[in-house]
């Protein structure tokens, strides 16, 4: 595992981290055992950066990280998030999980239309943040977070700026070492560059979505702000299992275009390198990305991802073709 500077914070992070949004059981499945295996294996393989959130798996992602790494806390960099609220439907589902599991095949088809009724809710008030951090610390069995990130804050929250006073307060209290923003758009991330106290920006960066390259990466580098690259596999589109996965562009047309682009990328696959490994290499070849955080709930996939830097380096010609694809 290679380690990189986390901006100018003095921290060294594994260049491949673990995106933990898939860690923990869902309403209709229980992958707790496999999640525990993924976390332990990630640690064994040298990963020290774990990206989670208070809402991932209704808190179970944080809970499992806390449980698995008890006693090893100081060797890890734990990044969590705040500002999104779990859906009431999910909260009820979590409580009823043992009752729902045996009849999940009967109920599951009806849940998607129900989910559409739910509009995501957010709360970036000082009160909510101060309450949430206490709950996150309890679930994670720790008394500090290395990095606390605002989770997709709306532009007006960033413009108003009060939220940063709360984060400064938590830093003074020793509850967090650093804070950053997991930005909804690249434009929001660029706006955050003007805040001198922000240590990191988390943004979407993958072979299909390269907007970060133009302005954000060079400017963040100048300011010493770390970049965390999320959704590097385009939520599974950039893997050999792409056919059965759904991607971030939710409407059909966008998905069709994205799939056609993925087909064009098949020149990257050879006996020594899979598409997902090429996708991770692509993100890592930007030296200013501190850490890329592919998400997985399978040990096998984790192990494949970790091997990405050892696979044949992308050539200049290959990089050029990938860049052209996003234009
Ligand atoms: N707004 C935000 O702050 C925000 C939003 C989204 C994501 N994130 C962060 O970014 C992380 C990554 O995002 P993501 O998980 O949505 O997308 P991703 O990393 O681009 O893709 C994950 C998908 O790829 C599959 N996969 C992973 N490795 C694979 C491999 N080697 N071979 C085949 N399939 C593989 C996973 O399935 P399996 O589980 O079957 O391996 C999953 O379906 C999240 O965990 C979270 O930490 C943050």
Residue 234 Cα to ligand 1 middle (Å): 7
Give the predicted TM-score (pTM) of the model.
0.92
Distance from CA of residue 81 to its chain's centroid? 10
204: CB partners within 8 A, 6+ apart: 186, 211, 212, 229, 230, 231, 248
Q: Give me the residues paired with residue 51 across strands.
A: 19, 79
Residue 167 Cα to ligand 1 middle (Å): 27
The protein residue whose alpha carbon is closest to atom 11 in ligand 1 is: 19
Residues 169 and 202 sit within 8 Å (Cβ to Cβ): no
Give me the residue label for tokens 């560059």.
193
- Neighbour count for residue 254 (Cβ, 10 Å): 12
In CATH, what number is assigned to the domain containing residue 155? 3.20.20.100
Closest atom of ligand 1 to 248 CA is 16
Give me the residue label for tokens 């073709």.
321
Ligand 1 within 6 A of CB of 54: no
**What are the pLDDT tens digits along the chain (327 aa)?**
999 999 999 999 999 999 999 998 876 667 889 999 999 999 999 999 999 999 998 899 999 999 999 999 999 999 999 999 877 766 676 667 677 677 766 766 766 666 666 677 899 999 999 999 999 999 999 999 999 999 999 999 999 999 999 999 999 999 999 999 999 999 999 999 999 899 999 999 999 999 999 999 999 999 999 999 999 999 999 996 644 444 444 567 888 888 888 999 999 998 899 999 999 999 999 999 999 999 999 999 999 999 999 999 999 999 999 998 877
The protein residue whose alpha carbon is closest to atom 15 in ligand 1 is: 295
Ligand 1 within 6 A of CB of 24: no
> 169 vs 9, 153, 179, CA distance in Å?
18, 19, 11
The backbone torsions φ and ψ at residue 30, rounded to the nearest 5 degrees and listed phi first, read: -130, 100
- Ligand 1 pocket test: pick from 152, 295, 300, 306 the residue with the most ligand atoms within 8 Å of its Cβ: 295
Residue 187 Cα to ligand 1 middle (Å): 22
> 176 vs 82, 129, 135, CA distance in Å?
12, 12, 13
Number of domains in the chain: 1
Write down the pLDDT at residue 112: 65
Domain that holds residue 88: 3-325
Residue 173 Cα to ligand 1 middle (Å): 33
Helix (H, G, I), strand (E, B) or coil at 180: strand
The backbone torsions φ and ψ at residue 194, rounded to the nearest 5 degrees and listed phi first, read: -80, -10
Closest atom of ligand 1 to 22 CA is 45
Residue 29 Cα to ligand 1 middle (Å): 17
Write down the pLDDT at residue 243: 45
Closest atom of ligand 1 to 81 CA is 3
Closest atom of ligand 1 to 295 CA is 15
Outline where DSSP puts E strands in 6-123.
12-14, 18-19, 49-51, 77-82, 84-85, 121-122
């Amino acid at each position: 595992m290679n380690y990189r500077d986390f901006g100018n914070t003095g921290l060294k992070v594994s260049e491949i981290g673990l995106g933990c949004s898939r860690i923990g059981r869902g309403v209709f499945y229980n992958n707790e055992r496999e999640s525990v295996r993924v976390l332990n294996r990630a640690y064994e393989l040298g990963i020290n950066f774990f990206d989670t959130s208070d809402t991932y798996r209704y808190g179970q992602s944080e809970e499992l990280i806390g449980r698995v790494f008890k006693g090893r806390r100081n060797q890890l960099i734990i990044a969590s998030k705040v500002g999104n609220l779990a859906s009431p439907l999910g909260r009820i589902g979590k409580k009823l999980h043992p009752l729902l599991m045996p009849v999940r095949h009967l109920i599951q088809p009806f849940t998607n239309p129900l989910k559409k009724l739910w509009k995501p809710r957010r709360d970036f008030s000082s009160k909510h943040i101060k309450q949430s951090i206490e709950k996150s610390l309890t679930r994670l069995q720790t008394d500090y977070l290395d990095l606390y990130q605002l989770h997709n804050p709306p532009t007006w929250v960033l413009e108003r700026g009060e939220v940063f006073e709360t984060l400064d307060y938590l830093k003074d209290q020793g509850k967090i070492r650093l804070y950053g923003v997991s930005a909804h758009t690249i434009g929001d991330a660029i706006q955050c560059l003007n805040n001198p106290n922000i240590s990191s920006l988390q943004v979407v960066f993958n072979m299909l979505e390269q907007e970060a390259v133009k302005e954000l990466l060079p400017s963040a580098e100048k300011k010493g702000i770390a970049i965390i690259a999320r959704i590097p596999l385009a939520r599974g589109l950039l893997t050999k299992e792409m056919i059965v996965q759904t991607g971030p562009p939710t409407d059909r047309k966008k998905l069709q275009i994205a799939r056609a682009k993925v087909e064009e990328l098949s020149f990257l696959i050879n006996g020594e390198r899979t598409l997902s490994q090429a996708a991770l290499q692509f993100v890592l070849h930007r030296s200013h990305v501190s850490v890329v955080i592919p998400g997985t709930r399978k040990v096998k996939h984790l192990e494949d991802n970790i091997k990405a830097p050892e696979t044949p380096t992308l050539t200049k010609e290959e990089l050029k073709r990938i860049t052209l694809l996003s234009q």
